[in-house]
Chains A and B, each alone.
Chain A
Amino acid sequence: MAEIRRANVMVCRSTGCEASDAVGVFDAMREEIKRRGLDSEIDVVQTGCRGFCAMGPVMDIYPGGIFYCQVQPADVPEIVEETLIKGRVVERLTYKDTETGEPIPIYEDIPFYNKQVRNVLRFCGKVDPQNIDEYIALGGYSALGHALFGMTPEEIIEEVKASGLRGRGGGGFPTGRKWEATRDAPGDVKYVVANGDEGDPGAFMDRSLMEADPHSILEGMIIGAYAIGAHEGFIYVRDEYPLAVKNLRIAIQQAKDYGLLGENILDSGFDFDVKIVRGAGAFVCGESSALMQSLEGKVGEPRPKHFHATERGLWDRPTCLNNVKSWANIPLIISAGADWFTSMGTEGSKGTNTFCLVGKIQNPGLIEVPMGITLREIIYDIGGGIPDGREFKAVQTGGPSGGCIPSDLLDLQVDFDRLTEAGSMMGSGAMVIMDDRTCMVDVARYFLDFLKEESCGKCTPCREGIKSMLTILNRIAEGHGEMADLDALGALAITVQSGSLCGLGKTAPNPVLSTLRYFRDEYVAHIEDHTCPAGVCKALIEYYIDAELCTGCGLCSRKCPQEAISGEKKEAHTIDLDLCIKCGVCFDVCRFDAVGMR
């Protein structure tokens, strides 16, 4: 019999919080509870990510859901004394409203969570990911029971088709149709594969899900395998995600011990087993055919798609590859039904989706929202807007192959089709928010540089085309660009798009195309006026000190790493441009706005 405690202290131990000493907090909490003789009353539970990563380490205390952020081990005795023994809130550790500064003690009341609909992430932060009993207690594996004993494989596929679920890895292909194609493909041996090879800069939703709720992925895979007729599955995870690998491994072992994986699952006569395969971190291995090559032990390069993976995938057998988030949606759809799922979202994109908010945003973190929410709601209502009173400039969605969306499209509804129309894409769900101090030429350059490194080199248009585009962008950023370069960029983009084999090349020009489409002025300014309006491209800017405003306090000269600033005390200072490396420290530290940039 499970022991019942009067309180649960849920300490986040995901990668984000562990980086800010969640382990220390967890250990200190266990220690303190034991020291006070409360271990028979209070349980300390480790959980996965609940998304509010900027505020880590975080914990919440049930019943009630009191939420503490930026907790350090030294805070633990006070939390035990005040909250766990006396039932009082420790105000200094609560979240404070960004506008009013009012403390918000309860988790659900924080604006960050207000507009979210957490379905796939429902157990993230609510269960111990290393304890299958907790997942089962909260209703886990009941969808599997329903599928195995109450539905035929065809009915399951119909339900998934009716839900309108589209691939959450970003491609957006209807999941049910993929399942059906794999089921209908001839052959006795079929495979299901979960793609956990998340590689976009700023994306961490797959990692968080694998770390925080590995069983929901497993449950989805078992249901899918049963519907498709597969008896073997693989989870492809990148090796840079050690905690995800660890938690998945524990989850698989526990599911095996309970007979939820393996032979004759729950005495249904259905056999299914899952193995973890660790990827070495090549970005291209997130692409389906490259992933399968890598899974087979070959070099991770895409192959021509004369036939679909659903017919000839892994080891030339019919293979159904879905993102881990797609798999995690399945138990929900089977339990609550396609009607429930389609009640959320837009015409072409049903349900919810997870996004990572990163960049110039008040509350970076992991969120889940219904499809069709506007960018404005995501960035301002949930993300808390742009910090330091700066202005919003653009949001980059869909990772390196996505595009930049400008401020006049802030009311765009976020779904697969709208984002594609706007020249970007859903992609993995990373959202990089940029403020007015971000140069769009530099952004395009950054992403192309990433893609140049990650291109596997198999096809020439991708390998050489991206490099050529990057050369042009570098030229523009250094002030040597010509207007004809913009046409050349456009022409190269078309070649790379149409001539590349896989999605990496086909979408690689997106960052350039979307910045050219929405921020052409900025390119022109670099080329014709030799200026960088955002003040980022170093070759095009120089710092100066306004003698009228300078008080001669000497702060900039003390902070300058090059000792390039000189001047007498209380006299105006000057910058030696030969020594200056344009790091911008003087600009940032000056309290009198005397340092300017031109």
Chain B
Amino acid sequence: MEKLKSLEALNRLRAEFQDKVSLRLDVGTTIAIGMGTCGIAAGAREVMHAILEELESRDVQAHVTTVGCVGMCEKEPLVEIHRADEPPVTYGNITPAKAPRLVDEHLVKGQTIEEWVVQR
């Protein structure tokens, strides 16, 4: 551990660790990934990892949670994005390759990607 030699150093340390504990607080956005057997078979775990990486590299605050089968098994992997004060949007057939655009358009720019939507 290095000594904190100024208030700025303390604030930097806080910023560094803030993300680690932020999931214990309400950050306003939840990304729920369908993780039933059907979802896992369709590659939901890989999708989740891709989204997690994308969130981290873009420094976007969102909670990633897993949910059971939502019923539309042929559209798995399903990803539901719920931003505070907005109705949730569910996207279908998401692949790891789609994660960057999902984070960029829906979470950063706030635009729904209409062609991927399966339910809203």
B71 to chain A, nearest CB (A): 14
CB <8 Å contact, B56 and A149: no
CB <8 Å contact, B10 and A266: yes
Question: Of A19-27, A255-263, A308-316, which stretch is located at the interface?
Answer: A255-263
Question: Of B13-21, B88-96, B98-106, B112-120, which stretch is located at the interface?
Answer: B13-21
CB <8 Å contact, B52 and A254: no
State whether the Cβ of B109 lies closer than 8 Å to any Cβ in chain A.
Answer: no
> A127 to B21, alpha carbons, bound, how many Å?
8
A16 to chain B, nearest CB (A): 21
Chain A residues with Cβ under 8 A from B35's Cβ? 85-87
Task: State which residues 1-46 of B face A: CB under 8 Å.
Answer: 1, 3-7, 9-11, 13-14, 16-21, 23-25, 30, 32, 35-36
Chain A residues with Cβ under 8 A from B49's Cβ? 41
CB <8 Å contact, A136 and B20: no
Q: Contact flags (1/0) for A257-297 with B, using CB distance below 8 Å?
A: 11110000011000000000000000000000000000000
Contact A87/B66 with A136-B14, A139-B14 known, Cβ cut-off 8 Å = yes
> A85 to B40, alpha carbons, bound, how many Å?
10
State whether the Cβ of B67 lies closer than 8 Å to any Cβ in chain A.
Answer: yes
Chain A residues with Cβ under 8 A from B13's Cβ? 133, 136, 258
Max count, chain B CB within 10 A of own CB: residue among A2, A6, A267? A6
Q: A interface, how many residues as a size bin?
A: 35 or more
B87 to chain A, nearest CB (A): 19
CB <8 Å contact, A2 and B52: no
> A1 to B52, alpha carbons, bound, how many Å?
16
Task: State which residues 20-46 of A face B: CB under 8 Å.
Answer: 41, 43
Chain B residues with Cβ under 8 A from A266's Cβ? 4-7, 9-10
> A64 to B30, alpha carbons, bound, how many Å?
9
CB <8 Å contact, A64 and B65: yes
> A259 to B1, alpha carbons, bound, how many Å?
10
Chain B residues with Cβ under 8 A from A43's Cβ? 20
CB <8 Å contact, B7 and A62: no
In the complex, which residue of chain A has the Cβ closest to the Cβ of B35? A86
Q: Contact flags (1/0) for A299-312 with B, using CB distance below 8 Å?
A: 00000000000000
A128 to chain B, nearest CB (A): 9
Q: B interface, how many residues as a size bin?
A: 20 to 34
State whether the Cβ of B79 lies closer than 8 Å to any Cβ in chain A.
Answer: no
A130 to chain B, nearest CB (A): 14
State whether the Cβ of B47 lies closer than 8 Å to any Cβ in chain A.
Answer: no
Contact A87/B65 with A133-B13, A260-B4, A266-B5 known, Cβ cut-off 8 Å = yes
State whether the Cβ of A113 lies closer than 8 Å to any Cβ in chain B.
Answer: no
State whether the Cβ of A142 lies closer than 8 Å to any Cβ in chain B.
Answer: yes
State whether the Cβ of A484 lies closer than 8 Å to any Cβ in chain B.
Answer: no
CB <8 Å contact, A258 and B4: yes
State whether the Cβ of A126 lies closer than 8 Å to any Cβ in chain B.
Answer: yes
Contact A10/B24 with A87-B32, A87-B66, A145-B7 known, Cβ cut-off 8 Å = yes
Chain B residues with Cβ under 8 A from A254's Cβ? 1
State whether the Cβ of A407 lies closer than 8 Å to any Cβ in chain B.
Answer: no
> A290 to B13, alpha carbons, bound, how many Å?
41
Chain B residues with Cβ under 8 A from A241's Cβ? none
> A6 to B17, alpha carbons, bound, how many Å?
14
In the complex, which residue of chain A has the Cβ closest to the Cβ of B52? A6
In the complex, which residue of chain A has the Cβ closest to the Cβ of B36? A86
State whether the Cβ of B64 lies closer than 8 Å to any Cβ in chain A.
Answer: yes
State whether the Cβ of A138 lies closer than 8 Å to any Cβ in chain B.
Answer: yes
> A148 to B65, alpha carbons, bound, how many Å?
40
> A10 to B32, alpha carbons, bound, how many Å?
20
> A507 to B66, alpha carbons, bound, how many Å?
56
CB <8 Å contact, A2 and B10: no
B47 to chain A, nearest CB (A): 12
A8 touches which one: B18, B24, B52, B56 (CB < 8 A)? B24
Max count, chain B CB within 10 A of own CB: residue among A10, A88, A137, A142? A137
Chain A residues with Cβ under 8 A from B24's Cβ? 8, 10, 62-63, 126
Task: State which residues 48-69 of B face A: CB under 8 Å.
Answer: 48-49, 52, 56, 63-68
B38 to chain A, nearest CB (A): 11
Chain A residues with Cβ under 8 A from B32's Cβ? 87
CB <8 Å contact, B20 and A134: yes
> A41 to B49, alpha carbons, bound, how many Å?
9
In the complex, which residue of chain B has the Cβ closest to the Cβ of A131? B17
In the complex, which residue of chain B has the Cβ closest to the Cβ of A133? B17
Q: Contact flags (1/0) for A222-263 with B, using CB distance below 8 Å?
A: 000000000000000000000000000000001001111000
CB <8 Å contact, B3 and A87: no
In the complex, which residue of chain B has the Cβ closest to the Cβ of A137? B17
B67 to chain A, nearest CB (A): 4
Chain A residues with Cβ under 8 A from B7's Cβ? 145, 148-149, 266
CB <8 Å contact, A141 and B17: no
Chain B residues with Cβ under 8 A from A267's Cβ? 5-6
> A297 to B16, alpha carbons, bound, how many Å?
43
State whether the Cβ of A555 lies closer than 8 Å to any Cβ in chain B.
Answer: no
CB <8 Å contact, A2 and B17: yes
State whether the Cβ of A3 lies closer than 8 Å to any Cβ in chain B.
Answer: yes
A387 to chain B, nearest CB (A): 32
Contact A258/B64 with A4-B19, A8-B24, A137-B20 known, Cβ cut-off 8 Å = no
CB <8 Å contact, B3 and A2: no
CB <8 Å contact, A6 and B10: no
Chain B residues with Cβ under 8 A from A145's Cβ? 7, 10-11
> A489 to B11, alpha carbons, bound, how many Å?
61
CB <8 Å contact, B6 and A257: no
CB <8 Å contact, B68 and A63: no
CB <8 Å contact, B23 and A6: yes
Chain A residues with Cβ under 8 A from B3's Cβ? 257-259
CB <8 Å contact, B10 and A141: yes
CB <8 Å contact, B4 and A4: no
Chain B residues with Cβ under 8 A from A141's Cβ? 10
Ordered nearest first, which 5 A-B pairs have the shortest CB separation? A63-B63, A137-B17, A87-B66, A259-B3, A87-B67
7 A–B contacts from the bound complex (CB under 8 Å)? A8-B24, A10-B24, A62-B24, A134-B21, A136-B14, A258-B10, A260-B10
Known interface pairs A1-B16, A86-B67; 8 further A-B residue pairs with C-beta atoms within 8 A, sorted by A's residue number: A63-B30, A134-B21, A141-B10, A149-B7, A254-B1, A258-B3, A259-B3, A267-B6
